[in-house]
Amino acid sequence: MRLGTRAGHPRLVRLLDCLVLDVPEHPSLDGAVVLVMERASGSLRDLIGAGVTRDEGGRLIEGICEGLAHLHRSGWVHADLKPENVLIGADGAVRLSDFGPATELAGTHGYALPMGTLDYLPPERWRAPLGELGVQVRPSADIWALGLMVHEVFGPGAPLFPGATPMARGAAVQEYAAGRAPADGRRGSGVLAGAGRRLSGPVARGARRAHGGGSAAADRRRAGGAPGSQVRAPSGVRPAAAAPGRASRGRRLRGGGRGPVVLGGRGGGGGPAGRVA
């Protein structure tokens, strides 16, 4: 919740309200913390399923890079980046979402609970030791997940690493990281080679903002673009609908909470890739 209130950015889903449910007749919900976020029309997973053109894919990846650059500059790691957690607004703008596992950095790394989506875990997370504070998480975890999403957007739909299950693909990831096996280059290498030319601009701009403090306005000035070309956050966003008689009876949450239950929105689930906690 601290991330939602302190790290606002057009590429992060907006936190509209926080409240605690007061429904004693429903013990499983009573006392739950509800985060009310802006409504999305779909997720990157939906677009991948429907098919994405090369130009549209480049625009989407650029938006993800902008969101990640802001998160990392603000001292946070998303820690569960995947297509389901990249929401698409009614205006087509990209919004990163689901900051439950997000980790605040203390220097080069932070600590998080041993959870995440198996298909998007970086190699080091599979054998990371669990200490008193959790497992170490670095911004490189988000960059690894970004690379996998680039493959999904521009590739033929098959996972980059072979395996019939997330655990099997995780084993292939570890073999690759150890230098004992390559990624499956047959899975769309030609498509990715062509997409690389389209992606070079968006990825370079995202990296420049992450490491050089650049901005979208500065990039438009370099490219000679007009100020009006900026993608704006949607206006008149409505809160996600809550079940009748539940969230409406909640009380506002002024401070932090433990174990938030996120209701509404899209893309917060584990999906077919599987999520482990």
Tens of pLDDT, residues 7-20: 578 999 988 888 99
The residue annotated as part of the active site, out of 22, 55, 80, 219, is 80
Residue 56 covered by a domain: yes
Q: Known catalytic residue: 80? A: yes
Residue 126 covered by a domain: yes
Q: Which domain holds residue 188?
A: 40-236
- Across 186-212, b (16+ Cβ under 10 Å) vs e yields ebbeeebeebeebbeebbebbebbbee
Residue 3 covered by a domain: no
Residue 262 covered by a domain: no
Query: Residue 123's pLDDT is what?
Result: 94
- Rounded CA-CA distance 162/171 in Å is 9
> Partners of 15 in the beta sheet?
37
Q: Where are the alpha helices (DSSP H) in the chain?
A: 2-6, 44-50, 54-73, 140-154, 166-177, 189-212, 216-223
Its pTM stands at 0.69
Domain count within the chain: 1
Query: For the domain that residue 215 is a member of, what is the CATH number?
Result: 1.10.510.10
Query: Residue 145's pLDDT is what?
Result: 96
Residue 14 covered by a domain: no
Residue 110 covered by a domain: yes
Residue 129 covered by a domain: yes
Residue 108 covered by a domain: yes
Query: Residue 164's pLDDT is what?
Result: 93
Structural contact between residues 153 and 60, judged by C-beta atoms closer than 8 angstroms: yes
Query: Residue 67's pLDDT is what?
Result: 94
Query: Residue 261's pLDDT is what?
Result: 32
Question: Across the 277 residues of the chain, what is the mean pLDDT of every consecutive 10-residue run?
Answer: 63 89 93 88 93 92 95 93 95 92 91 91 92 92 95 83 93 92 59 53 55 48 39 35 41 39 36 46
